[in-house]
Amino acid sequence: MSETQGSERITVYSDYVCPFCYLGRESLRQYQSTRESELEIDWHPFDLRSQKRNPDGTIDHSVDDGKDDEYYEQAKQGVRRLQEKYDVEMDLDIATDVDSLPAQVVSYYVEEHYDYETWLDFDVAVFEALWQEGRDIGDEDVLVELAEEAGVDADEVRSALDDDSLRATVREQFTAAQRQGVTGVPTFAYDGYAARGAVPPEQLERLVEGT
């Protein structure tokens, strides 16, 4: 991914199927609106579905990952509370049946081969497609459409999705994040410090500016 010379960057670990990642990005957007200069996002993928994903990409809910009905109900309540706090409309509260790995593979490809603005347009489009429109971001045709609208060639998207080595590289990114101590998403990191969760804009300001 090309970088804007001299730009500041905040590292963000996230998974598109995490509603708190979507809400966290809205908090980051609100913080960004108070800044004079753009704070670029250095995105790192994180996989919340790794233990429950079948070979065909479907999600096996019989696998015990420690998240029961009570957990999801509490999560939904948390999502609704933050929706109100950040003034965000969402079509879904939880997306337990959606596999984000294909979207993360394409996003990683775009981040590596296109400029920052193209990647950001695609990244935002994926979040909005799932959380505002309820679309399946694990579907190849949906990803091709979103990528084309961001300026990415459709054939490149399909090739990326068929590239086993690229998929393996993305999985390596998940492992690398865990080795760096990332245990949940979203995680925002800047200058050796980190904040986890859909933290408010003022906390992101303190993280970046130390105020």
Cα distance between residue 180 and residue 142, in whole Å: 32
Q: Are 154 and 45 in contact (CB under 8 A)?
A: no
In tens, the pLDDT along 57-78 reads 777 878 877 778 898 899 999 9
Q: In the predicted model, is pLDDT for residue 108 greater than 70?
A: yes
pTM of the model as a whole: 0.91
The CATH H-level superfamily of 8-209 is Glutaredoxin (3.40.30.10)
How would you classify the pairing of strands 187-190 and 8-14?
Answer: antiparallel
Residue 211: pLDDT band with limits 50, 70, 90? low
In tens, the pLDDT along 139-185 reads 999 999 999 999 999 999 999 999 999 999 999 999 999 999 999 99
* pLDDT confidence of residue 2: 45
Instruction: Give the start-to-end residue ranges of the domains of the chain.
Output: 8-209
Least confident of 2-6, 23-27, 90-94, 176-180: 2-6
In tens, the pLDDT along 15-55 reads 999 999 999 999 999 999 999 999 999 999 999 988 778 88
Q: What is the token pair recorded at 88?
A: 């965000």
